[in-house]
Amino acid sequence: MGTLLIALGAMILYLVAYNTYGRWLSRKIFKLDPNATVPSEELRDDKDYVPTDKSVVFGHHFTSIAGTGPIVGPAIAVMWGWVPALIWVLLGSIFIGAVHDFGSLIISMRNRGQTIGELAGRILTPRVRLLFLFILFVTLTIVLAIFGLVIAAVFKKYPSSITPCLLQIPIAIGIGALIHRQGKNLLVPSLIALALMYLTVFFGNWGPLASFNSMLASWPVMTWVVVLLVYSYIASVLPVWSLLQPRDYINSLQLLTALGLVILGLLVAGLIGGAPTTPNGARQTLEIVAPAFQWSPKGAPAIFPFLFITIACGAMSGFHCLVSSGTSSKQLRKETDAQFVGYGSMLIEGFLATVVILACVAGLGLGITGKTGTLSGQEAWLARYSSWGAASGLGAKVGAFVDGSANFLHTIGIPISAAIALMGVLVASFAGTTLDTACRLQRYVIQELASTLVGRSHLNSKPTGNPLTWLQNKHGATIFAIVVAGIMAGLPIKGQAWSWASTGKGGLILWPMFGATNQLLGGLAFLVIFFWLARRKLPIWLAFLPMLFMLVMPAWALILQLSTWFKAASPPYVLIGVTIMTLLLEVWMVTEAVLLWPKAQGVIEETLPPLHSPAT
């Protein structure tokens, strides 16, 4: 019953937060205006700037910011105890993560859809813009290089998810064309897409498809990396309504309905128990089988600061500011939709992270198949969480959530094999939406960097003879992005001989720094929000406290990691070098902000120049 009460309490808390703190931010701080000019209308090109219904933008935004983050982070952070993990998810998502996402979205909408890097240059200083863009480039390169490996690992662990994920693409293209070109109402296409997607899940491993899935699951990781990067290129350069929007939208429908089924299963399990683990067995009592607090798990780093780095997307993630300012701000058709998309999406993600925690600490206890047979209760928990090392791999983290949530679905009569397939598809689909959105965002970052180095804006100036001009083109920037990511992914891991069959894991070289760098990015985004508020003499505490927290915790974590890497028998010098560079960039940007502070209070930044007409 305690598990059920936690889920219901979290749901109520998020509803209250949305209608109190979220509404206060909308009306009193950001003063959303339904009649304000928005980028999707002012710069409409039906490619990147496309006025779109808020439910579709919500689907794109939510699936893009979620990815696998709210699954893998909480699934390992419960090692420190489910109570600390739950507190950080609940409070972090309401007062830090949602404010960060919402603020980034609104400020971008008020500045013609400029990305957070461009905004940093105008709201702070031009030097900060360049520093910010370099951090964004490194962060997104790691994402692009690693997510091919992530998706390949999910496909290998859950081959039945491959066909459903592939079939999502033609379904999304069809739905996108139906809605955009024919102006169809969303209800019927949504129901059709949802039905088709669930059919692909339940029949995606039927008959000959099982052999097809097994064949694709056996592909080398590097093959998947190449295929997925090529797909990302296509998704990045196509008009946003043709693939990116509808794919994310139908994925969000699938996720929200699956989440509803998991909650229904949790409700049934909480009231009458889980499904029996044997044909004639008794129903399993739903209870939390993990420790409430565990300050020093075997092999784990210190809870402070690493809890706040391990759980990112479910509470606060710097990657979200890229989605808010990079794509979502260019699609909303009116300002008042921003609370639903920016603040609401983060709360839903926080609730998803809460469900992940409950699946790992209670759902897992309903029964898993271990090496010695069926395990339940604390035995099931210890089988997955005996040490930090045992729980830290991608397979272990995803597996704990998939098995725990599948047990909830099994409680309401869904066969366990179908339940596992559904959860596997959910995880793989989330990873895919992060990959293609990250590629589009990296394209924008490269175009902005090229524009800075060339010395003009790619939006409204004529080409120059500078060799970097080709990077201002969407095709050139995207090709550069995927080539750099592919090279990184193809780098051999230290101690391993290079071959096509063994490569594809090069993203792991810099991956250890990604968690802290991602959170540091959030702190720097808050720095931009903080100055935007201060220039308008609006309350700054709502950004200052989160900014301070999200600058200190990641820096602390990076410094602790550096000390560990330096002491290694064979120090990872590339990783150490990039980490030191990142810390120096943070110090430089904060120093610029401190020096600017006396001059910025109450002084509005320069307005954007008028848009050039086609004739000029």
Here the contacts of 371-378 (C-beta below 8 Å, separation 24 or greater) are 374/277, 374/278, 376/277, 376/284, 377/287, 377/289, 378/289
* 19/197 Cα distance (integer angstroms): 32
Q: Is the dihedral of CA 215, 221, 224, 228 positive or negative?
A: positive
Asked if residue 615 belongs to a domain, the reply is no
In three-state secondary structure terms, 374 is: strand
Asked if residue 32 belongs to a domain, the reply is yes
Total domain count, the chain? 1
* Structure-token match 């699936």, residue found: 63
In the numeric block, which tokens belong to residue 568?
A: 């290694």
Residue 459 has pLDDT above 70, yes or no: no
Residue 467 has pLDDT above 70, yes or no: no
Residue 278 has pLDDT above 90, yes or no: no
Asked if residue 612 belongs to a domain, the reply is no
- Residue 439 burial (10 A CB sphere; 0-12, 13-18, 19+): buried
Residue 289 has pLDDT above 90, yes or no: yes
Cβ contacts of 122 within 8 Å, gap of 6 or more: 111, 114, 129, 605, 606, 608
- Structural domain including 524 reads 2-600
Cβ contacts of 256 within 8 Å, gap of 6 or more: 348
Residue 263 has pLDDT above 80, yes or no: yes
Helix extents (H) in 35-125: 39-42, 54-66, 69-77, 82-92, 98-109, 116-123
Residue 399 near residue 157, CB atoms below 8 Å: yes
Q: Is the dihedral of CA 26, 30, 36, 39 positive or negative?
A: negative
Mode of pairing for the β-strands spanning 368-370 and 373-375: antiparallel
Query: For position 238, what pLDDT does the model report?
Result: 94
Closest CA to 290 of 86, 78, 84, 90: 78
Buried b (16+ CB within 10 A) or exposed e, 50-89: bbbbbebbbbbbbbbbbbbbbbbbbbbbbbbbbbbbbebb
Residue 355 near residue 7, CB atoms below 8 Å: yes
What DSSP character marks residue 223?
H
pLDDT tier at 458, thresholds 50, 70, 90: very low
Domain containing residue 459: CATH number: 1.20.1740.10
- Residue 480 burial (10 A CB sphere; 0-12, 13-18, 19+): middle
In the 3-class helix/strand/coil scheme, how is 411-478 assigned residue by residue? HCCCCHHHHHHHHHHHHHHHHHHHHHHHHHHHHHHHHHHHHHHHCCCCCCCCCCCCHHHHHHCHHHHH
Measured distance between the N- and C-terminal CA atoms of the chain, rounded to whole angstroms: 68
Residue 571 has pLDDT above 70, yes or no: yes
pLDDT tier at 184, thresholds 50, 70, 90: low
φ and ψ at residue 607, rounded to 5 degrees: -75, 160
What's the average model confidence in pLDDT over 549-572?
A: 96
- Which tens digit of pLDDT belongs to each residue from 114-172? 999 999 999 999 999 999 999 999 999 999 999 989 999 999 999 999 999 999 999 99
Higher pLDDT, residue 516 or 284: 516
* 439/562 Cα distance (integer angstroms): 29
φ and ψ at residue 567, rounded to 5 degrees: -85, -5
pLDDT tier at 189, thresholds 50, 70, 90: confident
Mean pLDDT (the chain) is 91
* 108/119 Cα distance (integer angstroms): 7
CA 603 to chain centre: 34
Asked if residue 613 belongs to a domain, the reply is no
* 196/183 Cα distance (integer angstroms): 21
Asked if residue 608 belongs to a domain, the reply is no
Asked if residue 430 belongs to a domain, the reply is yes
pLDDT tier at 616, thresholds 50, 70, 90: very low
Residue 277 has pLDDT above 80, yes or no: no
Higher pLDDT, residue 322 or 1: 322
Q: Hey, what amino acid is at 477?
A: A
pLDDT tier at 182, thresholds 50, 70, 90: low
DSSP assignment of 268-293, as one string? HHHHH-BPPSSTTPPPBPP---S-S-
Asked if residue 576 belongs to a domain, the reply is yes
Bridge partner residues of 374 (DSSP):
369
Higher pLDDT, residue 444 or 67: 444
φ and ψ at residue 368, rounded to 5 degrees: -135, 165
- Which tens digit of pLDDT belongs to each residue from 46-73? 999 999 999 999 999 999 998 888 999 9
Cβ contacts of 567 within 8 Å, gap of 6 or more: none
Which run of H or of E encompasses 190? helix 187-203
Least confident of 176-190, 229-243, 268-282, 489-503: 176-190
Query: For position 280, what pLDDT does the model report?
Result: 73
What DSSP character marks residue 124?
T
pTM: 0.94
Q: Hey, what amino acid is at 611?
A: L
* 566/42 Cα distance (integer angstroms): 52
DSSP assignment of 326-372, as one string? HTGGGTBSSGGGHIIIIIHHHHHHHHHHHHHHHHHHTGGGG-EEETT
Asked if residue 616 belongs to a domain, the reply is no
What DSSP character marks residue 30?
S
